[in-house]
């Protein structure tokens, strides 16, 4: 297991961009969000970038103020026609630096994310 922590304080516009200090590789097991003192209505996008491509991990809109744990998954595709499955989720594989972008988080409000990665599918 590998743990990546992203934390910071929003600017005067209520925005914040967090980027991990080091690259990681693995499957996203879960993301724990410590909402700390953020305002109601924050929008959050968690991604991963390897320098050339961005992998979408999770998008949340108009959040309340409660801490939460998420287990983001991607839908697989059928081999026969490429259509998405609707009942089978797979862990998201990431390589590179984890990122979180917060909008409408509140002036000088704090956010913290703990991303757990594993090497297990």
pLDDT at 86: 75
Q: How far apart are CA 36 and CA 33, in angstroms?
A: 9
Q: How far apart are CA 57 and CA 71, in angstroms?
A: 10
Contact criterion met (CB below 8 Å) for 33 and 111: yes
pLDDT at 77: 82
Q: How far apart are CA 47 and CA 41, in angstroms?
A: 20
For the chain, the straight-line distance linking the first and the last C-alpha, in angstroms and rounded, comes to: 12
Strand partners for 110: 9
Per-residue pLDDT of the chain (121 residues; tens, 9 = 90+): 999 999 999 999 999 999 999 999 999 999 999 988 989 999 999 999 987 889 999 999 999 899 999 999 998 888 888 887 877 789 999 999 999 999 999 999 999 999 999 999 8
pLDDT at 51: 79
pLDDT at 67: 93
pLDDT at 42: 95
pLDDT at 30: 97
DSSP class of residue 58 equals E
| CATH (residue range 2-118) | 2.60.120.260
Domain ranges of the chain: 2-118
């Amino acid at each position: 297991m590998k743990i990546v922590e992203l934390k910071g304080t929003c600017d005067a516009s209520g925005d914040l961009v967090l980027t991990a200090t080091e690259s990681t590789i693995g499957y996203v097991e879960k993301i724990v969000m410590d909402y700390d003192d953020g305002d109601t209505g924050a929008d959050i996008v968690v991604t991963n970038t390897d320098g050339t491509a961005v992998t979408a991990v999770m998008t949340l809109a108009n959040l309340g103020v409660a801490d939460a744990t998420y287990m983001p998954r991607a839908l697989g595709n059928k081999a026969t026609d490429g259509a998405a499955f609707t009942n089978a989720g797979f862990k998201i594989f990431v390589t590179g630096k984890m990122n979180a972008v917060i909008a409408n988080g509140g002036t000088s409000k704090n956010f913290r994310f703990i991303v757990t990665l594993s090497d297990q599918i």
